[in-house]
């Protein structure tokens, strides 16, 4: 029988990666689906049988000391089906044992803030239920300072192989080892606190600074504050999503705030000064003489802090003029005399024409 190293064209001290690379290159040339020549099919079985031995540490060692390398029940007609797929499709799934220590997952929580907190920012302490490193075993998953041992079934490879017959001969398939779940090692004495996982569920307090200007939907990323991974792996990130609570009388529109106040008809006609409560304390608002319902007064710089950029938005005061619904005899008489003094006839109306752009501009603005 030809030397297996020569069959694959590799040195006797070649690494597993070098052996696999050589096999993949030859398999593309000699596979029966690519080259139907019967001689090529025999060559393909020969290189596959060589790879079957040299890619297995135990079989390779047996071969190097003078054995056949194929072991009981194997013949040079067998081949690794997964490696044939690698040869034609460029790799595929990762082979070998999977690590016990793996990164943790990211987490998302929602935090409610009121409008004042959104305007000026605030600090919070979040109480989060999450996975943390097991304090008893330090994340190793092993009790009493013990260590995991190499799996007796897969010999540390994390996978086992099975042979089945097919039209091309014997097909060898690989699957995760059932004894060690693919880790290649077994924890003989698992930690009683975490049952070998290296992490436990716990509640922890996380301080967070919520910047001024946030609104519903904004997210704050806290690196490394998510769940700790299996085996005490690096923690993922924690994302805090903001939910803004509606205010009792202020309405937010981007960085501006809106407030609506109602004043008596006489105050609108004569003018006055009113005081309103804002996030910056009490503010005086001047109502000019003859103010109409729907008018606005702008208080600059009293809105929400800009999340990006500098400064704050404005506070816009919307004025509603309240007309009395019921008058006594004396009040009615006074209003009637007032109307006569202004030559106002209540039975006559003024119809605005289309050319009155000022009026219709106000109507359009009201509908918007």
Model pTM score = 0.61
CB 272 within 8 A of CB 238: no
* Rg over CA atoms, the chain: 40
Chosen domain end from 38, 62, 89: 89
DSSP-based three-state secondary structure for 155: coil
Are both 203 and 280 inside the same structural domain?
no
With vertex at residue 144, the alpha carbon angle to CA 138 and CA 145, rounded to the nearest 5 degrees, is 60
User: pLDDT for 269-314, tens place per residue?
Assistant: 889 999 999 999 999 999 999 899 899 999 999 999 999 888 999 9
Whether 178 is covered by a domain: the verdict is no
Are both 272 and 325 inside the same structural domain?
yes
CB 19 within 8 A of CB 48: no
Domain holding 126: CATH number? 2.60.260.20
Question: Which H or E run includes 187?
Answer: none
Are both 112 and 231 inside the same structural domain?
yes
User: pLDDT for 107-123, tens place per residue?
Assistant: 999 999 999 999 999 99
Whether 99 is covered by a domain: the verdict is no
Are both 295 and 255 inside the same structural domain?
yes
* Spatial CB neighbours of 237, under 8 Å, sequence gap ≥ 6: 106, 107, 221, 222, 223, 224, 225, 226
Query: Domain count of the chain?
Result: 3
Are both 231 and 278 inside the same structural domain?
no
d(CA 154, CA 107): 35
Task: Specify binding-site residues.
Answer: 134, 137, 151, 154, 177, 180, 191, 194
Whether 11 is covered by a domain: the verdict is yes
Are both 60 and 117 inside the same structural domain?
no
Are both 115 and 235 inside the same structural domain?
yes
The pLDDT of residue 279 is 93
Are both 211 and 319 inside the same structural domain?
no
Task: Specify binding-site residues for Zn(2+).
Answer: 134, 137, 151, 154, 177, 180, 191, 194
d(CA 325, CA 134): 72
33 strand-pairing partners: none
More confident residue, 216 or 96: 216
Whether 175 is covered by a domain: the verdict is no
Q: Could you give the C-alpha distances from 83 to 21, 62, 94, 124, in angstroms and in order?
A: 10, 22, 11, 54
Question: Could you list the residue range(s) of the whole structural domain that residue 352 is in?
Answer: 251-367
Are both 224 and 275 inside the same structural domain?
no
Whether 315 is covered by a domain: the verdict is yes
């Amino acid at each position: 029988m030809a030397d297996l190293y020569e069959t694959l064209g590799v040195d006797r001290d070649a690494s597993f990666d070098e052996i696999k690379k050589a096999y993949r290159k030859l398999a593309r040339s000699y596979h029966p689906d690519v080259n139907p020549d019967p001689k090529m099919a025999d060559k393909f079985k020969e290189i596959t049988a060589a790879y079957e031995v040299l890619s297995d540490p135990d079989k390779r060692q047996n071969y190097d000391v003078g054995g056949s390398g194929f072991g009981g029940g194997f013949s040079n007609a067998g081949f690794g089906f997964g490696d044939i797929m690698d040869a034609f499709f460029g790799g595929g799934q990762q082979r070998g044992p999977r690590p016990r220590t793996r990164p943790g997952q990211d987490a998302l929580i929602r935090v409610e803030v009121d409008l004042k907190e959104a305007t000026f920012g605030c600090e919070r302490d979040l109480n989060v239920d999450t996975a943390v490193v097991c304090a008893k075993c330090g994340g190793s998953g092993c009790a009493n300072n013990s260590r995991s041992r190499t799996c007796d079934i897969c010999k540390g490879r994390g996978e086992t192989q099975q042979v089945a017959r097919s039209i091309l001969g014997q097909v060898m398939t690989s699957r995760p080892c059932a004894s060690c779940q693919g880790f290649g090692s077994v924890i003989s004495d698992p930690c009683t606190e975490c049952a070998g996982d290296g992490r436990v569920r716990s509640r922890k307090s996380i301080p967070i600074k919520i910047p001024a200007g946030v609104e519903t939907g904004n997210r704050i990323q806290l690196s490394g504050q998510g769940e700790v991974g299996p085996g005490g792996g690096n923690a993922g990130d924690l994302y805090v999503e903001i939910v803004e609570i509606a205010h009792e009388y202020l309405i937010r529109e981007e960085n501006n705030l809106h407030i609506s106040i109602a004043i008596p008809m006489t105050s609108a006609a004569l003018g006055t000064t009113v005081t309103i409560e804002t996030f910056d304390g009490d503010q005086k608002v001047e109502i000019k003489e003859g103010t109409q319902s729907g008018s606005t007064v702008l208080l600059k710089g009293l809105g929400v802090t800009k999340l990006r950029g500098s400064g704050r938005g404005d506070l816009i005061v919307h004025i509603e003029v309240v007309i009395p619904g019921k008058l006594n005899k004396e009040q009615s008489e006074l209003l009637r005399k007032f109307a006569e003094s202004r030559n106002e006839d209540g039975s006559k109306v003024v119809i605005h024409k289309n050319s009155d752009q000022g009026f219709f501009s106000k109507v359009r603005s009201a509908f918007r």
